[in-house]
Amino acid sequence: MLPVRADLVGISSYGAPQLDVAARLNVNENPFPLPASVVEAITQAVSSAAHGLNRYPERDAVELRAALADFIARDCGVDLPVEQVWAANGSNEVMHQIFLAFGGPGRRALTFEPTYSMYPEYARDTFTDFRMLPRLPDFTVDVKRAVDAIADLRPSIVILTSPNNPTGTSQDLSDTRTIAQAGLTYGAMVVVDEAYAEFRRDGVPSACELLGEFRNLIVTRTMSKAFGLAGARLGYALAADSRVVDTLHVVRLPYHLSAITQAVALAALANSELLTAQVQLIRSERDALAEWLNEQGYDVAPSDANFILFGKFEDRHAVWQHLLSRGVLVRETGPPQWLRVSVGTPEENAMFRDALLRAKEDQ
């Protein structure tokens, strides 16, 4: 026997299948490869960073955090000093660090299901008690229940995911405000995970707008989705209070962001317009796909993200398997009768529609 932590014995690691099929529509990546000019800029940046790899990287990644602040100023019209911006290896690491800093033994985190399946893992790793309340049938958060639960359970972390994964649901700013206020009253950090923010429909606001109002608010974002940089591993947090960032500094591992990661992310941010040029197309493909699924008689959760949750299936695994047999990989996640499909290129989306039609014929 290995002296493994008792609560980890028999637990297998998280991960969606990575299969080499024609249409990989299961992990919400941006389906478009990087433009050649951006590949060139990244290659140059990496090459120049390579000369200095004998040295440890810039520990505080100040230049990168400033570039992220610039991007947020353009994307949300919110000006943040670098002291309120934090960066790490994917927003997964950011969230893990938030649990290290604000969770822990004797503490509690609260979120609303169905939602992102990684949150319980951060809680487990940090010995944080983890609670989930069900979302309403339309997949929005039951705000009254949330406020009552915050008063009752006294979590130190509340996670709101907007747009939510796997449902695509975005949260009204007034609801976020009410929950942030309850967090302020009862001593909780309120974290809004905005991994998919750049895909939101016109008129849907970002919680960044509330950073001036609630000092307990943290908004997390990532370059993995809209930026098409999932392979680079760069996520970030925007904190209403610079002391949050000071605390994340305390729990981070030394030199957590490699010089290569920093160089890649900086080169990407310098080209953010080129990199996010396909977001508009992905949004219109999403809306068209949602409409098509509706026409086919499926239930479709309204989506502000780059994926769609649709159903309902008596045997979703059979449908998943059928799609896979036609080279289309979607995700078996969320409520038991639903499937989630990432929005791909127009060609991939056509393959998906075709495969789903055939799956229906065969049912």
55-63, 88-96, 171-179, 345-353 -> range binding ligand PLP (CB under 6 A): 88-96
Of 156, 161, 162, 262, the one binding ligand PLP (CB under 6 A) is: 161
Q: How many residues bind ligand PLP (CB under 6 A)?
A: 14
- CA of 339: how far to CAs of 106, 310, 331, 334, in Å? 36, 6, 6, 7
**Closer to ligand PLP at the Cβ: 230 or 277?**
230
**Closer to ligand PLP at the Cβ: 227 or 320?**
227
**Closer to ligand PLP at the Cβ: 42 or 359?**
42
CA neighbor of 335 nearest in space, from 299, 303, 289, 287: 299
Min dist CB 172 to ligand PLP, Å, is 18
**Closer to ligand PLP at the Cβ: 86 or 116?**
116
Amino acid at site 294: N
Min dist CB 266 to ligand PLP, Å, is 17
- Rounded distance, CA 14 to CA 333, Å? 13
Binding of ligand PLP at residue 168 (CB under 6 A)? no
Of 30, 84, 92, 171, the one binding ligand PLP (CB under 6 A) is: 92
- Rounded distance, CA 233 to CA 235, Å? 7
**Closer to ligand PLP at the Cβ: 161 or 206?**
161
Binding of ligand PLP at residue 28 (CB under 6 A)? yes
Binding of ligand PLP at residue 342 (CB under 6 A)? no
Binding of ligand PLP at residue 116 (CB under 6 A)? yes
Binding of ligand PLP at residue 121 (CB under 6 A)? no
Binding of ligand PLP at residue 165 (CB under 6 A)? yes
Of 26, 30, 156, 224, the one binding ligand PLP (CB under 6 A) is: 224
**Closer to ligand PLP at the Cβ: 31 or 359?**
31
Min dist CB 121 to ligand PLP, Å, is 12
Binding of ligand PLP at residue 268 (CB under 6 A)? no
Give the residue carrying structure tokens 């239930």. 299
**Closer to ligand PLP at the Cβ: 132 or 184?**
132
Of 113, 121, 193, 332, the one binding ligand PLP (CB under 6 A) is: 193
Q: Are 164 and 192 in contact (CB under 8 A)?
A: no
Q: Which two tokens stand for residue 196?
A: 């998919």
Which residues here bind ligand PLP, judged by CB under 6 A? Answer: 28, 90-92, 116, 161, 165, 193, 195, 222, 224-225, 230, 235
